[in-house]
Amino acid sequence: MKNRIVDANFPRTLDQRVYHLGLRAGEVANRIITLGAPSRAHGIASYLDPTPTPFTLTSERGFTTITGRYKGVPVSIISIGMGYPNADFFVREVRECLNGDMVVVRLGSCGGLIDVPVGSVVVPKASIAVTRNYDFDFVTGKSDEPPYKSSKPVLADPIVHDALVDSLTRTRPANITTPIVDHTLNASADSFYSSQGRQTSFPDHNADLIDRLMSEHKDLATFEMETFHILHLAACWRPEAHEAAKDAPPLSRDATAPSIYPAHPPSTQSDIPDVATSAIGHQPLRPPPRIRAAAAQMVFASRTSQDFIAPQEVASIEAWTGRAVLEALVGLAIEPDRLHEETGSVWEIKGDELDKAIPR
């Protein structure tokens, strides 16, 4: 039995769908935008090419994936909700559905920690994790442990980072005057409340948290809840050969029950991808495949001025940044042998669609 970069025990349904996102091979592309709200995903999806009709799947767990083409290039838009656990489901399960390289941009809202107006867009160079310390005595406040811990920074992919800054700059509408801020540090917290210094009726002992973080990290600019985990998984993922079982036991029932919009049928690819080989020829990729990730963050609330963005501003900022991220993604080169197989995928352009398709 040959070695393949396949986890035979990775949870899948009888029809080879991953457990939480509900996807299988051929339903998610190598270039991906991930964000929180399904409404934002559908808004960005309105920019996709009409041919082939974008594929839309919503899993029972609430993840929505929209896959199609933008200017002829396959791309997926995936809404994952909020927080580390959902970011973990996203990166791990998408990785198991793809051959070759994976490029991810997290587009989301954030709280601003520096003196920039709401509506600004921040492209951080790196991110730290801020986590509640469960060994701290939150009841009495008497503890040798600090109530919160912060990690070492993990870097965004510099090429993806720079592509985002360039695309945001080139596509910014004339009526949007808020700045694009780059080469700053992001903090991703494990809570919207305690680990971001917000006060509630709970004894969170976080009154000085932001001041402490700002004193330790002079370039800290934003707070949110997903970027660090995505960058961390991208940085530490390395394909390793595992002995693949011929008959890995699938889940005994269809745990995902995904809702697939009738406008586009699902993928017909049933094989589990060998993530470290080329889709055509199944030769080992050299150098090995990788996950490249970066983030663009829209400042919807200022933690310094307490300002909040107006709803009409949200719509214009989302429209601009959504298109800018698409432009950045399709401009990033991926060698053909490092892309997932198109035949049988939801982005395959079939014979009767060739005349309608937008050429690359």
Read off the pTM: 0.92
* The residue to which tokens 């949870």 are assigned: 11
Q: CA 65 from chain center: how many Å?
A: 11
Rounded distance, CA 44 to CA 54, Å? 12
Give the domain ranges of the chain. Answer: 31-236+267-355
Q: CA 310 from chain center: how many Å?
A: 25
pLDDT tens digit string along 78-87?
A: 999 999 999 9
Out of 131-135, 204-208, 249-253, pick the least confident.
249-253
Q: Residue 70 is encoded by which pair of tokens?
A: 């933008």
pLDDT value for 251: 56
The number of beta carbons lying within 10 Å of the beta carbon of residue 246 is 6
Q: How confident is the model at residue 2 (pLDDT cuts 50, 70, 90)?
A: very low
Mean pLDDT on 88-100: 96
Mean pLDDT on 7-18: 79
11 touches 252 (CB < 8 A)? no
Geometric angle at alpha carbon 99, from 255 and 81, rounded to 5°: 45
- pLDDT at residue 133 greater than cutoff 70: yes
Q: What are phi and psi of 82, to 5 degrees?
A: -130, 155
Mean pLDDT on 229-238: 96
129 touches 228 (CB < 8 A)? yes
CATH 3.50.50.60 matches 31-236+267-355: no
Three-state SS annotation for the chain: CCEECCCCCCCECCCCCECCCCCCCCCCCCEEEEECCHHHHHHHHCCCCCCCCCEEEECCCCCEEEEEEECCEEEEEEECCCCHHHHHHHHHHHHCCCCCCEEEEEEEEEEECCCCCCCCEEECCEEEEEEECCCCCCCCCCCCCCCEEECCCEECCHHHHHHHHHHHHHHCCCCCCCCEEECCEEEEECCCCHHHCCCCCCCCCCCCHHHHHHHHCCCEEEEECCHHHHHHHHHHCCCCCEECCCCCCCCCCCCCCCEECCCCCCCCCCCCCCCCECCCCCCECCCCCCEEEEEEEEEEEECCCCCECCHHHHHHHHHHHHHHHHHHHHHCCCCHHHCCCCCCCCCCCCHHHCCCCCCC
Mean pLDDT on 137-145: 95
Q: How confident is the model at residue 241 (pLDDT cuts 50, 70, 90)?
A: very low
pLDDT value for 8: 55
Residues 6+ apart with CB under 8 A from 248: 8, 9, 12
Rounded distance, CA 76 to CA 333, Å? 16
- pLDDT at residue 175 greater than cutoff 60: yes
pLDDT value for 1: 30
- pLDDT at residue 248 greater than cutoff 80: no
**What letter represents residue 280's amino acid?**
I
Nearest Cα to Cα of residue 229 among 329, 47, 106: 106
pLDDT value for 359: 64
Q: How confident is the model at residue 274 (pLDDT cuts 50, 70, 90)?
A: confident
Q: Could you tell me what percent of the chain has a pLDDT over 70?
A: 90
Mean pLDDT on 31-36: 98
Based on its alpha-carbon atoms, the radius of gyration of the chain, rounded to whole angstroms, reads 21
Q: What is the mean pLDDT of the chain?
A: 91
Mean pLDDT on 244-261: 60
